[in-house]
Amino acid sequence: MVVRSRAPLRLSFAGGGTDVAPFPETEGGAVLSATIDRYAYGSLTPRADQRICVHSLDLGVSLDFDARDEPSFDGELDLVKAAVRRLGGDGTGPGGGFDLLLRSSAPPGSGLGSSSTMLVALVGLLREHHRLPLTDYEVAELAYQAERVDLRIRGGHQDHYAATFGGFNFIEFGERVIVNPLRVNDSVVDELQLNLLLCWTGTTRQSALIIEDQTARLAGGELETLAGLRAQKELAVAMKSALLRGELSEFGSLLGEAWKQKKRMSPLIATDFIEEAYDVAMRAGALGGKVTGAGGGGYILFYCDFARKHRLAEALTRMGGVVTDVAFERRGLTTWRA
């Protein structure tokens, strides 16, 4: 029996960085995000032997190891190894192995949480394969532990929980993570996705380097970084309120304020291209926008009234950006048997 999984990527509107230690432990973090119709996919086929064979369609990389061996983290598909080490079983007895086939709608460094989402898809596959009674909170936390603890990749919690739960969420971070699903009116969701535009910058980035710089500045007592993080948290609350009230022009303007405050957290967040694209977008009619992840590259999200959106798209395309529309996904991690 083949097992499949699918986990959605996310857009982070405000609060990014407040989910990264040590800020949530000292002040409590909050993120407003929504999942979109781009995904990390996984397929698991049981084998009659104890081999685990992995093939990443995105990277064009394959891996083959014994299920009874402790996988080593050597830079080759380590996300898979971390998930297998946490949930792969002991590999004993006949049929302890399996084939894994993986694919993502976005590359690592896109700012859409693709690496963390792939881990959620992997944990979902292994949960279904081994029939483990794990809750959504446990799935998200296992994915977080595999990436942040086992692999020591710097970052926060938000991506794992967004991909697992799906939809529009206001997520709080402190002693524990609390996911608050938002009941956004369908007409508001329709209007929001009509007025949003994603612009690909043409470059990916290593979010861990930006997050490491941000964390070092916070630990060093840099007031500008702390002020930026506190403002991000406040903006997540304000944007949640605007979204629930259906006041989307205010939401779009606050998106721009979130970008302004985000840049205070680290000088590595903005690049010349991102700043130029932002200026071009505002002159073309955008109300606001921000990068969708840690910064330094990936996607920029803009809010623009639909009547002006075509002009915005044309202006960004002329300067080398690649623009696409946004469609939201209400469901989170999904697994099934085929």
Q: Do 73 and 168 belong together in one domain?
A: yes
Domain boundary, last residue among 155, 183, 211: 183
* Same domain? 128 vs 235: no
For residue 76, give both structure tokens.
């080759």
Query: In this structure, is residue 193 part of a structural domain?
Result: yes
Candidates 19, 78, 159, 213; catalytic one? 159
186 is catalytic: no
Kind of pairing, strands 51-56 and 98-104? parallel
Give 236's contacts (C-beta < 8 A, 6+ positions apart). Answer: 13, 14, 15, 18, 30, 31, 32, 170
Compute the distance between CA of residue 177 and CA of residue 174 in angstroms, rounded to an integer.
6
User: Residue 92 has what pLDDT?
Assistant: 47
Q: In this predicted structure, what is the pLDDT of residue 267? A: 84
Residues 80 and 123 in one domain: yes
Instruction: Give CA–CA dist 318/299, Å, rounded.
Output: 16
CB 119 within 8 A of CB 161: no
Q: Which residues contact 272 (CB under 8 A, 6 or more apart)?
A: none
Q: With CA atoms as reference, report the closest residue to 169 among 50, 307, 338, 8.
A: 8
- The pTM of the full predicted model, rounded to 2 decimals, is 0.93
For residues 7 and 126, state if they share a domain: yes
Amino acid identity, position 60:
G
Average pLDDT of adjacent 10-residue blocks, the chain of 338 residues: 96 94 93 98 94 92 89 89 83 71 89 94 96 96 96 92 98 96 97 96 73 80 88 97 98 96 86 92 96 85 97 96 95 97
Examine the domain organization and report whether 165 and 240 are in the same domain.
no
- Do 101 and 197 lie in a common domain? no
Nearest to 207 by CA among 323, 97, 103, 109: 109
Instruction: Give the domain CATH number at 132.
Output: 3.30.230.10
106, 147: one domain:
yes
Distance in Å from the first CA to the final CA of the chain:
6
161 CA to centre of own chain: 9
State the total domains in the chain.
2
Q: What residue numbers bound the domain in which 26 lies?
A: 3-183
Assigned domain for 338 exists:
no
Q: Is residue 337 part of a domain?
A: no
CATH number at residue 209: 3.30.70.890
Q: Are 100 and 227 members of one domain? A: no
- CB contact set of 233 (below 8 Å; sequence gap of 6+): 15, 18, 27, 28, 29, 30
DSSP for 209-261? HHHHHHHHHHHTT-HHHHHHHHHHHHHHHHHHHHHHHT-HHHHHHHHHHHHHH
pLDDT of residue 129: 94
